[in-house]
C-alpha cells in the first residue's frame, strides 16, 4: 500500500511538472537573468547554494542533491509585478503597464544508490516583460517586449567522498520572443520567434564539518537561434520595404559562476552568503536576419556583473521555518547602449518568508521587494532622445509545495 501511495504521489508530481511547462512565462529583471526558482530560495535571497534542503537544489546546486536521501519533488510559482516611470525625450512621463508574470518551477530528485543521485527540473533562468502605452513617446523603438524561456535540466550527481560531491548534466532552453514597435505613425511591426538551445552545467558541493559547507555551480554559454515571422499592419514599398516575411533572431546567453558558503551555528539556524558572476560579455549582439530586407545587428557591449546575496533560516518550531534575505545585483548595460526593452539599473532586493513542515509535505511562501536605482540616459540610436527612469520597482510573491517519499 505504501508503494502504491508513493507511486501515486510521484505520478501526480510528474503531471504537475508537465503542466507547469506549458504556463506562459515572462519577467522583468535587471539584465534579463532570473533567480526566482523556489519560495524557500526566494525568501533567502537565493542564498541556498551551499545549504540544500529540498528538490529545488536541482537548480541552485545539483551537486547538493547528494544530501537529500530518497525521492523528493516540488512544484510552485513566483508572481512578479514590475513598474517604472519613464521620461523619454520631450514626451511626458509614461508609466510601465503593471502586468503580473508567473514563472513556474518543478523539480524531482531521486537517490539511485549510496553514491549516485538523479535530478531533473524545469524553471526560468532568462526572461523579460516590458510594455508601454501604444502612443507613448518611444513607440518607434518599442512599446512591448516579451522574452519567455523554459529551462529543462537533467543532472547526475556523485558522492565522490563523504565530504565532496560532483554533478553534471545538460540544460535545454526553449525561448520565445514577442517584440512590437511602430516604425511609422501608421504601421505596427510585430516580431514573433521561438527556438531551442542546448548548454551544460556542472557543480560541486563540499561539507567541511557539521557547521560549514560550500557550493559551486557553472552554467555554460548558450547560443539561441529563434525563428519565426515579422508582421506589418501596413505594407510599405521602397525605400522602407516593410513586408511580412520570415525572421530569425540570434543571440548568445551568458555563462555564470556561483559560489556559496553556508554556516549552521546550531540545529535551529542556517546562514549563507553567495557571490554570482554573470559573463554578460557573451551577449555581444542581438542579430535580426530578415528574409527580404537588410539584416540588422543591435550591438549590446554589456559588461560582466556580480550579484551578492545573503540569506538566513530559523526553525522557530519543529514545523515552522522563518526566513529572510538581501540581494545586491549589478546591472550589465553600459552607458550609451541602453534601450527601452530593459529600462533598469543596479538593484536591491529585500525578501522574507516562511515554511510549514507537515510530515512529508512542505509548504513554502515568500515575499520580495525589488528596487532599481534611478537612471539618466543620454540620447542614443536605441532611445527617443534623452531618457530618465525613475520609481522602478517590482513586487514578488512565491509559493512552493514539496513532498518527500
Cα angle 31, 371, 180 (rounded to 5 degrees) comes to 45
Summarize the confidence of residues 322-349 as an average pLDDT: 89
User: How buried is residue 194: exposed, middle or buried, by Cβ count under 10 Å (0-12/13-18/19+)?
Assistant: middle
Model confidence at 32, in pLDDT bands (50, 70, 90)?
confident
Write the pLDDT tens digit of every residue in 205-217. Answer: 999 999 999 999 9
What are the percentages of helix, strand and coil residues in the chain, rounded to 5?
A: 10, 55, 35
Buried b (16+ CB within 10 A) or exposed e, 359-384: eeebebbbbbebebeebebeeeebbb
User: How buried is residue 172: exposed, middle or buried, by Cβ count under 10 Å (0-12/13-18/19+)?
Assistant: middle
Spatial separation of the C-alpha atoms in residues 405 and 73, rounded to whole Å: 9
Domain of 364 in residue numbering reads as 2-404
Is-cis flag, bond preceding 343, omega within 30? no
Strand partners, 147: 128, 177
CATH number of the domain where residue 230 is located: 2.40.160.60
Summarize the confidence of residues 381-396 as an average pLDDT: 88
Which candidate, 256, 247, 161, 163, places its Cα nearest to that of 213? 163
Q: Say whether pLDDT at 29 is over 60.
A: no
Contact indicator for 394, 81 with CB cutoff of 8 Å: yes
Spatial separation of the C-alpha atoms in residues 242 and 244, rounded to whole Å: 7
- At residue 55, what are phi and psi to the nearest 5 degrees? -65, -20
Spatial separation of the C-alpha atoms in residues 267 and 259, rounded to whole Å: 23
Spatial separation of the C-alpha atoms in residues 252 and 328, rounded to whole Å: 25
- The least confident of 56-60, 78-82, 397-401 is 78-82
User: How buried is residue 3: exposed, middle or buried, by Cβ count under 10 Å (0-12/13-18/19+)?
Assistant: exposed
Write the pLDDT tens digit of every residue in 218-230. Answer: 999 999 999 999 9
What rounded mean pLDDT belongs to the chain?
88
What is residue 109's predicted lDDT score, i.e. its pLDDT?
Answer: 97
Write the pLDDT tens digit of every residue in 256-290. Answer: 999 999 999 999 999 999 999 999 999 999 899 99
- The least confident of 107-111, 341-345, 353-357, 377-381 is 341-345
> How many structural domains compose the chain?
1
169: Cα within 13 Å, side-chain hemisphere: 25
What is the model's pTM? 0.87
Helix, strand, or coil (residue 32): coil
User: Which cell numbers hold the place of 225?
Assistant: 537561434
Spatial separation of the C-alpha atoms in residues 54 and 354, rounded to whole Å: 14
Q: How far is CA 162 from CA 159, 165, 338, in A?
A: 7, 8, 49
Which candidate, 180, 172, 160, 168, places its Cα nearest to that of 62? 168
Place of cell 499592419: 233
Model confidence at 78, in pLDDT bands (50, 70, 90)?
very high
User: Residue 320's CB: how many other CB atoms inside 10 A?
Assistant: 12
Which candidate, 233, 250, 247, 227, places its Cα nearest to that of 294? 247
Q: Say whether pLDDT at 34 is over 70.
A: yes
The percentage of residues in the chain with a pLDDT greater than 70, rounded to a whole number, is 91
Contact indicator for 33, 256 with CB cutoff of 8 Å: yes
Q: Kindly state the greatest CA–CA separation across the chain.
A: 74
What is residue 2's predicted lDDT score, i.e. its pLDDT?
Answer: 38
Amino acid at each position: 500500500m505504501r508503494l502504491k501511495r508513493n507511486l501515486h504521489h510521484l505520478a501526480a508530481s510528474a503531471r504537475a511538472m508537465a503542466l507547469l511547462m506549458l504556463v506562459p512565462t515572462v519577467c522583468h529583471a535587471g539584465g534579463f537573468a532570473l533567480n526566482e526558482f523556489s519560495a524557500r530560495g526566494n525568501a533567502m535571497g537565493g542564498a541556498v547554494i551551499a545549504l540544500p534542503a529540498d528538490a529545488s537544489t536541482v537548480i541552485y546546486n545539483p551537486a547538493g542533491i547528494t544530501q537529500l536521501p530518497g525521492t523528493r519533488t516540488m512544484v510552485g510559482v513566483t508572481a512578479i509585478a514590475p513598474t517604472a516611470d519613464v521620461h523619454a525625450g520631450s514626451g511626458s512621463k509614461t508609466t510601465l503597464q503593471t502586468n503580473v508574470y508567473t514563472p513556474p518551477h518543478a523539480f524531482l530528485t531521486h537517490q539511485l544508490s549510496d553514491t549516485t543521485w538523479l535530478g531533473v527540473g524545469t524553471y526560468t533562468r532568462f526572461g523579460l516583460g516590458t510594455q508601454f502605452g501604444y502612443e507613448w513617446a518611444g513607440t518607434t523603438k518599442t512599446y512591448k517586449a516579451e522574452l519567455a524561456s523554459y529551462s529543462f535540466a537533467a543532472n547526475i550527481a556523485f558522492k565522490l567522498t563523504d565530504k565532496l560531491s560532483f554533478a553534471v548534466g545538460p540544460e535545454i532552453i526553449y525561448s520565445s520572443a514577442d517584440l512590437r514597435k511602430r516604425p511609422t505613425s501608421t504601421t505596427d511591426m510585430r516580431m514573433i520567434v521561438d527556438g531551442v538551445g542546448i548548454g551544460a552545467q556542472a557543480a560541486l558541493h563540499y561539507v567541511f564539518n557539521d557547521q560549514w559547507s560550500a557550493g559551486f555551480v557553472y552554467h555554460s554559454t548558450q547560443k539561441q537561434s529563434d525563428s519565426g515571422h515579422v508582421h506589418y499592419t501596413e505594407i510599405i514599398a521602397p525605400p522602407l520595404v516593410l513586408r511580412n516575411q520570415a525572421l530569425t533572431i540570434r543571440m548568445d546567453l551568458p555563462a555564470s559562476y556561483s559560489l556559496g558558503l553556508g554556516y549552521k551555528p546550531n540545529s535551529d539556524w542556517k546562514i549563507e552568503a553567495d557571490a554570482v558572476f554573470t559573463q554578460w560579455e557573451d551577449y555581444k549582439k542581438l542579430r535580426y536576419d530578415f528574409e527580404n530586407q537588410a539584416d540588422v545587428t543591435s550591438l549590446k557591449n554589456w559588461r560582466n556583473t556580480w550579484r551578492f546575496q545573503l540569506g538566513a533560516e530559523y526553525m522557530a518550531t519543529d514545523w515552522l521555518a522563518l526566513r529572510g534575505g538581501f540581494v545586491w545585483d549589478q546591472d550589465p548595460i553600459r552607458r550609451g547602449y541602453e534601450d527601452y526593452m530593459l529600462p533598469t539599473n543596479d538593484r536591491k532586493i529585500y525578501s522574507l518568508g516562511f515554511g510549514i513542515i507537515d510530515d512529508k509535505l512542505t509548504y513554502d511562501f515568500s515575499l520580495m521587494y525589488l528596487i532599481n536605482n534611478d537612471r539618466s540616459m543620454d540620447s542614443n540610436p536605441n532611445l527617443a532622445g534623452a531618457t530618465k527612469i525613475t520609481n522602478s520597482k517590482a513586487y514578488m510573491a512565491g509559493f512552493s509545495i514539496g513532498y518527500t517519499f
